[in-house]
Structures are given as C-alpha cells and as structure tokens.
Structure 1
Amino acid sequence: MNIFSYHLVELPFFDAIKRIFSNPISNNIKGLIHSESMTAMTLGSPIFSPSRVLIGQIAIFIQWENENALENYLEQDNFGRILAKGWHVRLSFIREWGKFSGFKIPDYIDKLGSPNSPVVAVTIARMKPFAVPRFIHWGRPVEKLVRDHPGTTLSLASVKFPNTVSTFSIWKTEKEMTDMVHGHSAVEKPKRHSAAMKERERKDFHFEFTTLRFKPLAEFGQWKGESNFIPNT
C-alpha cells in the first residue's frame, strides 16, 4: 500500500543553504514515487523577518510505494539516516482537491474512524510569479488563522525556490479542520480561508495546486523538543 511521509529536521546552516538549491533525495531511491524538499517557514510571520524563512529547518514531503521502502531508506541511505534523527509522520491518503505533478494518487483510499479523528492536511503549489503579491495579501491572514487555531497541534509553511510553496497542519479532529475551511470556527474572523478560496477561484495564484488530506498512521521522533503531536496514536 502506498504511504506518504512528512519529515522535519534541523541541519547545519551551510548544509541547509546548499539544499535550498538541490533535492537531497535521489530519484533513484528504491520505492520512491516523488519527493518535495523545502525550507520551513513560520505561518503568518511578516514577509521581511528572520522567522519567515527558517534556514536550517528542512521540511520534506514524500510518497512511497510502501512502508518497507520508507523503512529501508531511513536505515540505509546517508540522508535517510539524517531524516531518521528528526521528526516524521506516516500518512495514509484520504482525499485530494486539485492536481500537482509528481505525486500519484493511490487506488487505495483510507477512511477516518469518525469526524472526531485526527487528520493531517498538506497543500502544495507552484506559484505564478506575478501573482505573488496578491497571494501574500490573501494568504497571510489564512496562515494566521491556521497557526492560531485551537484545533491544530502543529502547523507550518515551507518554500522551495523559485516558486514552490506548501503548508502542513495536524488537526485534533477532522471536524475542526472542516469548520475552519468553511468559515464556521468559533475564532476571530473565521471566514479568512473561505474568502481566500473565492479569490483563488476568481483568478488563480498558481500554475498547479493541490490540497491533500491524510489519516495519520504513526509519529516518530521529536521536533523542537516536543512529540506526540497526533492525538491518540
């Protein structure tokens, strides 16, 4: 069965700089379907601030043919052993909106136990360069909404130059996530996400864009000294 994994790891500054302009994961890895390596960002932070792009903090989103391929990579590959020292979550696919080249939507579609089960959301897009200012205008309020939402246990953004952007969030329950998406959360300015989606439908920010929803299978390691971001796993 296909699985996805999402990894967070801290690297020395100059090693991280090198990886900004290259993919640390070879396409020849056995069992690898696709990977996207990015630099982590703080959701909602000012555009020109040290917290916006966190050099040294690497986020990698990967699809595998099966869990054995992931296990072998973490044990046998040089960079895989580095990732094994960080934090990662293993994910089973539930739903997709939009399309993004490289990833292959599996035939097997998993299900959550109930709307009160934890869920993981990943968005990833290739930006249109001239749409970046408009994207920032509409996107930063959404970033703050997700970052500050009481339903998330871990949330961040990431970027790969020149034009790949992504978000990752773990939600305590699927209901809290869908309430946020549709503007029904009991928070300040709850319709920020739905307003941004309407603007994207009016005039797209991206060459390609997808939102993927996952059932979390297992969590490994620590991120910034913390673990157990996924409830009841």
Structure 2
Amino acid sequence: MTIFTFHLAELPPATTARALWKAPSAPGLRYAESLALMQLGASTISPSRMQLRRMAMFARWDDEAALDAFLADDPLGAGLATGWHVRLQFLRRWSRLAALPDLPARADDWDPAEPVVAVTLARMRLLEVPRFLKWGKPVERLVRDHPATTLALAAMRPPRTISTFSIWHSIEQMEAMVHGHSPVPDPTRHATAMTERRRRDFHHEFATLRFRPLAEHGTWQGRSTYLP
C-alpha cells in the first residue's frame, strides 16, 4: 500500500543543507521534500525562522518495506531514524502540486471525530512574500496555540518552498479552525488569510493535504505520543 510519512530529526547542519540542495532518492521512494524547520510565529529576522539543525522530510513510498529499508540502510534515513516520524494514509487534497499529479481530490471517507494530520506545501511568488508574512503569521500563531493541535510546525526550503504540518484531535475541530468557528481569540484569522489569497495569490502553486495517521515512531523533543 502506498503510504506517506512526515519525519522530524535533529541533524548536523551540513546534513540538512545537503538534503535541501538535492532531494534524497532510494528504492521505493516516489517523492521527498526536504525542509528546515521554522518556529511558527517567530520574527522574520530570527535564528528560529530557519533551523538547519532541525530537519523535516515529507515523503511518499511504494510501501512500508521501502520506508523501513531507507531508515535502516540509507545514511540520511539512518539520521532521520534517530528522530520521529508518522506514517500516513492519504485522504483528501485541495488544489494540486506538480510533484504529486496523480492524487485524487478524495481517496476515502472519514469520521469527523477521528484524528487528522494536515500538510500544506506551497511554492512562493517571491515578490508576494511581504504580503504572505503579513497575513500568514497570524494564522501560524492560531494553529500553534490552538487547543485541538498536539503538534504544529512550519518548515522551508529556500528560496520559495514553504510547508506546514499539524496533528489535530479531530477533523471536526480542524475544519472549525479553517472556517473561523473555533472557540479561541480572533478565530477568523485563517479564513481572512484565505480570502486575501484568493484576491491575489501568494503562490505559484499551493496544496493542502489531509491524512489519516496510521502510526508514529521514535521521539521528538523528548516526546513519543503526539497522536491523539
């Protein structure tokens, strides 16, 4: 069965830089996006905005055997194996990425009460970055501080790739956030930013992907139980 994964690991900066420069390849690895972590809501000019010692990788695999072999035998995979990752079943997409052209708009049904993982990937229009930061930072803080998330972060690959990753207690709570109905201060920040994006897009391409979490492995920041 085709699966997706999202990995987090603390690695030497040179290892992260090499992965940012050249995407990893391995038998059974269909697609990989290597990224350096950012701190959600951090100042634009800040060491927290791009953390080469903390690497993320979003990937698609032919099956779990290919993933396991990569983690056991590949030098980058062995480094990622010292961190944390979650295995994912694809459910839904909005918009489309050239790197993932065959994903259907909807792959399965779901229960609104079940946990969900959301991944966004965007290729920025560089001249739109100031607008993106203006409207995007309030959304970063909304997701980071939301009581329904167990883990929320952002990552980047210069010069134009931005990604977000979040784990939610339920699809229902995530959708409430998206539509501005969460019981939190200033709940419409995400909806307002999406209205601004529709007015004039920040991105060359942008996709939101929804996944069912299957299993988590390893630890991140001393914790091993991020899935609800």
TM surpasses 0.5 = yes
Contact conserved, 1:63 with 1:103, CA < 8 A, in 2?
Answer: no
Contact conserved, 2:93 with 2:103, CA < 8 A, in 1?
Answer: no
Contact conserved, 1:127 with 1:165, CA < 8 A, in 2?
Answer: yes
Partners of 1:227 and 1:133 lie apart in 2 by 36
Amino acid of the structure 2 residue aligned with 1:72: A
Partner of 1:229: 226
Cα 1:189–1:120 change in 2 (3 A) is same
What's the CA shift for 1:72? 1.6
Partner of 1:134: 131
Contact conserved, 1:32 with 1:63, CA < 8 A, in 2?
Answer: yes
Partner of 1:69: 66
Alpha-carbon RMSD across the aligned residues, in angstroms, is: 1.4
Of residues 50, 53, 65, the one that matches 1:53 is 50
Task: Answer yes or no: is 1:102 the counterpart of 2:99.
Answer: yes
Amino acid of the structure 2 residue aligned with 1:7: H
Partners of 1:14 and 1:166 lie apart in 2 by 21
Partners of 2:167 and 2:133 lie apart in 1 by 22
Q: Which runs of 5+ in 1 are unaligned?
A: none
Partner of 1:8: 8
What's the CA shift for 1:18? 4.0
Partners of 1:106 and 1:219 lie apart in 2 by 23
Corresponding residue SS for 2:151: strand
Corresponding residue SS for 2:47: coil
Number of residue-to-residue matches in the alignment: 227
Q: What's the TM-score, normalizing by structure 1?
A: 0.93
Partner of 2:27: 30
Amino acid of the structure 2 residue aligned with 1:208: E
User: Which stretch of the first structure deviates more once superposed, 13-22 or 124-133?
Assistant: 13-22
Partners of 1:77 and 1:17 lie apart in 2 by 17
Listed as ranges, the matches of 1:1-233 within 5 Å are 1-23=1-23, 25-26=24-25, 29-106=26-103, 109-112=107-110, 114-231=111-228
Q: What's the TM-score, normalizing by structure 2?
A: 0.95
Corresponding residue SS for 2:118: strand
Contact conserved, 1:9 with 1:83, CA < 8 A, in 2?
Answer: yes
Contact conserved, 1:8 with 1:83, CA < 8 A, in 2?
Answer: yes
1:83-125 Cα shifts (integer Å, max 9, x gaps): 111100000001000111212445682333x211110000001
Partners of 1:65 and 1:215 lie apart in 2 by 17
Corresponding residue SS for 1:5: strand
Amino acid of the structure 1 residue aligned with 2:220: W
Contact conserved, 2:30 with 2:60, CA < 8 A, in 1?
Answer: yes
Corresponding residue SS for 1:46: coil
Corresponding residue SS for 1:62: strand
What's the CA shift for 1:17? 3.8
User: Which stretch of the first structure deviates more once superposed, 116-125 or 97-106?
Assistant: 97-106
Partners of 1:111 and 1:86 lie apart in 2 by 31
